[in-house]
Amino acid sequence: ESRGDIFSAAPAHAGRSPLRRAVPDTAACDRAMQADLGRIRTLMETQEIWREEGLTITSLAARASLPEAHLRRLINDQLGYRNFPSFVNAHRITAAKARLADPDEARTSISAIAYDIGFASLGPFNRAFRDETGQSPSEWRRRALNGPDETENV
């Protein structure tokens, strides 16, 4: 065999760079990520699993059929939350604000609302609510139902 014959035969991957083959298909990755985010949104927004007391990232990952580390990255990088508890609490606090501002719920105790939306006790609910809104739940309710105090600058 001559040297020319060895180098003249086209390799099996002719026309494809080995480096190019190693680069993921970004469109397929984007579609997969959107599908993963869609499953998370369905669980959180449609099925409202955030209402479950004791919801963990492990249980959400299992229900979304995602590895826990991947779910953490999606929550942090794609959805913009600093961690899993802040992600869940954001859904819970949104629901709490709506209920606290609802005149039909004015006689429902704040603790009943907190327990109904998935908090196991009032302390964590009050902290999460204040972190999210800058107000206590009772202040939020008062302002939502009665408007701001007349002495305050709005």
State pLDDT tens for residues 59-92. Answer: 999 999 999 999 999 999 999 999 999 999 999 9
* pLDDT tops 50 at residue 8: no
* pLDDT tops 70 at residue 14: no
Taking Cα atoms as reference points, which of 72, 97, 98, 101 lies closest to residue 87?
Answer: 72
**pLDDT value at residue 151:** 46
Mean residue pLDDT across the chain = 85
What does the pLDDT average to over 38-52?
A: 95
Rounded Cα–Cα distance for residues 92 and 102 (Å): 16
**pLDDT value at residue 1:** 46
The angle, 0 to 180 degrees and rounded to 10, between the axes of the packed helices 57-64 and 26-41 is: 120
Rounded Cα–Cα distance for residues 78 and 37 (Å): 8
**pLDDT value at residue 26:** 82
Percentage of the residues of the chain whose pLDDT score is greater than 70:
80
> Could you count the other beta carbons within 10 Å of the beta carbon of residue 21?
8
